[in-house]
Structure 1
Amino acid sequence: MSTYVLNTIAFKNDLDNGVSQSKLVEKVEQLGFDAIEIRNEFLSGSSSERLQIAKEAENCGLEVFYSVNDVLVTGDHLNDKLNDYVAEMKELNSSHLKLNIGSLSDISKNELIEGLKSVLDGQFEINVENNQTLADSSLAVTKKFFEIIQDTDIQDIHYCFDIANWIWMGIDVEQAAEELKQVTTYLHLKNAAKVQDELTTVPLEDGDLDWRSLVKEFTNAKVFGLEYAGEPQTIANELKLVKEITK
């Protein structure tokens, strides 16, 4: 059974104008999604807002995913804020926390493994994702990270593969897909196109990537999230297209 998620960046104009993500939950449900992905950079930081989001999501029958624009590993240790992010996730009544990997250059294999085991309690999963920077999301580091994890009994760490972000890093998307498809359970779906010689995020049908063929590569993926600013009708139509090839 697949899960279809809408990231709140879909409503970027609302977010930029200070609208609380708690006000967006019903819109996500009306568009036909199973879950809402909350972005931590657009939260006020208050516990009351997170609890309100959880209440609205429960009322709408939506799961909550929590996206944090930060790294899992910083320097020679896990991010000092990781426990705070886990607590925020739980206030959102979520069991899905997503971050970028960061750099593994200064952390030992043992420190990484023991640190993760101390945080994971069997009640939630961590998804690591590729953002648009080599510093936080290089393909080599991502592969190394999962090679380390696969040699342990850690079960609750998976990969969120953003099909477009690789373009910003100059990495071949097909190569990245081949390297990471076995550990990917979550796909972030958007497209990219050059506008006035600058790369920009666009809806799936408006960009240069053959997103359909990419999605079909990921046989282990069960969660599909749309992540781009777009008109409601465009998002609803593209959700139908995604469902057609993933159900």
Structure 2
Amino acid sequence: MKPQIIIVTAAYGHDRLKELGGQQAVVPIVAAAGADGIEIRRELFSEAELQQLSTLGKTISDAGLITFYSVPEALFTEEGTLNPNLARHLGEAEQLNARLIKYSLGHYQRGVDCSSLRDLPLQLVVENDQTDCGTLAAIENYFNDDAPVGMTFDMGNWLWVDDSPVQAATRLARFVTYVHVKAAASAADGWRAIALDNADNLWRETLALLPSDVPRGIEFPLEGDDLVAVTRHYVELLSEV
């Protein structure tokens, strides 16, 4: 069974999205490219767009796509408590008809009561981000503590926190329910995401260690004059590897 391929709207770049007319404008591109779904990013909304989520959700559904929703906040606050905006974000996800909502981990502390996360109306996942809370040690500590949610494994972000993507995949694969496919290259000011065709083989080595039947999100740059063609190219690639 081939994995579902999800296009992360941020892959088109903030400036290009703005030029096109926002996240809703790329829905037809994603659909025409043969993807299965789209990951909507909360940080890319204006306040006005946040008031029109139901309309966007219908546009996505009418295009035959599924929706994932990414929130640029941590699931756990610096005090170790659950994000106080969780209910609001879940309401937004419902308006979008989202099947999944994604957070970074944040400051998880062992023993905190997470029972309220077990019976949510959609899948909740946490992602390894590019902070100290996204290191292999921090993520592994959380999931080894019988975490009630799944994991978004961002293949590239390990490099930002000086961890090995291959080692992380080996140790965390059993928890992974969604993969963010991302290649990266070292630059003068640190790491930067790059397209797979311009990358070394690390992304393939890492992906081979992860579950093959979970959704794969494209979060590397999708650039070019023909966005449908470049998106389709990577949809087809990631459907086969």
Q: Same fold (TM over 0.5)?
A: yes
For residue 20 of structure 1, report the CA deviation from its aligned partner.
2.2
Higher RCO (CA 8 Å, separation ≥ 6 residues): 2
- Structure 1 partner of 2:80: 76
Name the CA distance, whole Å, in 2 between partners of 1:71 and 1:197: 25
Corresponding residue number in structure 1 for 2:4: 3
Which amino acid is the alignment partner of residue 10 of structure 1? A
Structure 1 outlier segments of 4+, above 3 Å: 45-48, 195-198
The alignment-based identity, stated in percent, is 28
Q: How far apart are residue 114 of structure 1 and its match?
A: 3.0
Q: Is the 8 A contact 2:154 2:181 kept in 1?
A: yes
In structure 2, the partner of 1:66 is: 69
**What is the CA-CA distance between 1:108 and the residue it aligns to?**
4.7
Contact 2:185–2:192 (Cα < 8 Å) also in 1: yes
Distance apart, 1:126 and its partner CA = 0.5
Q: Which amino acid counterpart does residue 190 of structure 1 have in structure 2?
A: K
Separation in 2 of the partners of 1:101 and 1:198? Answer: 22
Q: Do the aligned residues in 1 keep the contact of 2:166 with 2:205 (CA within 8 Å)?
A: no
Residues 144-198 of structure 1: per-residue CA shift (max 9 Å, x gap): 2112225xxx4xx211111111101111111111111111121101210124453
Contact 2:20 2:26 in 1 (8 A): no
Q: Could you say if the C-alpha distance between residues 148 and 197 of structure 1 is closer, same or farther in structure 2, counting changes exceeding 3 Å?
A: closer
Q: Distance in 1 between matches of 2:91 and 2:20?
A: 24
What residue number does 2:206 align with?
214
Which residue does 1:116 correspond to in 2? 117
* Closer, same or farther: CA 167–186 of 1 in aligned 2, 3 Å: same
Tell me if the contact between 2:110 and 2:145 (Cα under 8 Å) persists in the aligned partners: no
Which of 82, 100, 103 lines up with 1:99 in the alignment? 103
In the TM superposition, residue 213 of structure 1 has moved relative to its aligned partner by 2.1
TM-score normalised according to structure 2 size: 0.89
**Whole-angstrom CA distance in 1 between matches of 2:114 and 2:202:** 36
Q: Distance in 2 between matches of 1:22 and 1:48?
A: 13
What is aligned with 2:36? 34
| Offset from partner CA, 1:36-62 (integer Å, 9 cap, x none) | 100000112345421121111111000
1:129 aligns with 2:133: no
Q: Determine whether 1:161 maps to 2:153.
A: yes
154, 162, 176: which one pairs with 1:184?
176
Q: Which residue of 1 aligns with 2:230?
A: 234
In structure 1, the residue matched to 2:240 is 244
Deviation at 1:221, TM superposition (A): 4.4
Cα RMSD of the aligned pairs, angstroms, is 1.9
Q: Which runs of 5+ in 1 are unaligned?
A: none
**Aligned partner of 1:97: which letter?**
I
User: What is the distance in 1 between the residues matched to 2:26 and 2:115?
Assistant: 38
Report Cα offsets for 1:176-226 as digits up to 9, x if no partner: 111111111211012101244532111112123522221111136410010
SS at match of 1:77: coil
Q: 2:58 aligns with which of 35, 55, 59?
A: 55
The 3 A distance-change label for structure 1 pair 18 and 28 is closer
Where structure 2 has 5 or more consecutive residues not aligned to the other structure, the ranges are none
Could you tell me whether the CA contact under 8 Å between 1:193 and 1:206 is conserved in 2? no
